[in-house]
Amino acid sequence: MSTFDDVLGAAQGLPPAERIRLADALIETVPPDEWPAPSDEWIAEARRRSAEYDAGRMATSPWPEVRKRARREAGLDG
């Protein structure tokens, strides 16, 4: 079996779009209960955005639309 460094080295040789695709695929394999806790900065930002949303000062988009747009902008989808 390959070591982490072997796998990382091989992955670093991929084109950028393929590295992003690999990272996305790997993240999908981690169960939510094993995700690291968010940082204090991230929690503060989430609270700020929640307050903006609650005050009606922020527009939202459904997750499938956001993901599709992000993948397109990253060059992962046509």
pLDDT tens profile 47-67: 999 999 999 999 899 999 999
**Alpha carbons 26 and 22: distance in angstroms, whole number:** 6
What is the arithmetic mean of pLDDT over 24-31? Answer: 95
Q: Which residues, at least 6 apart from 59, have a Cβ–Cβ distance to it below 8 Å?
A: none
Q: What confidence score (pLDDT) does residue 34 get?
A: 96
Residue 42 DSSP SS3? helix
Q: What confidence score (pLDDT) does residue 1 get?
A: 63
Q: Are 77 and 71 in contact (CB under 8 A)?
A: yes
The answer, as to whether pTM is greater than 0.85, is no
* Percent above pLDDT 70 for the chain: 97
Q: How far apart are the first and last CA of the chain?
A: 34
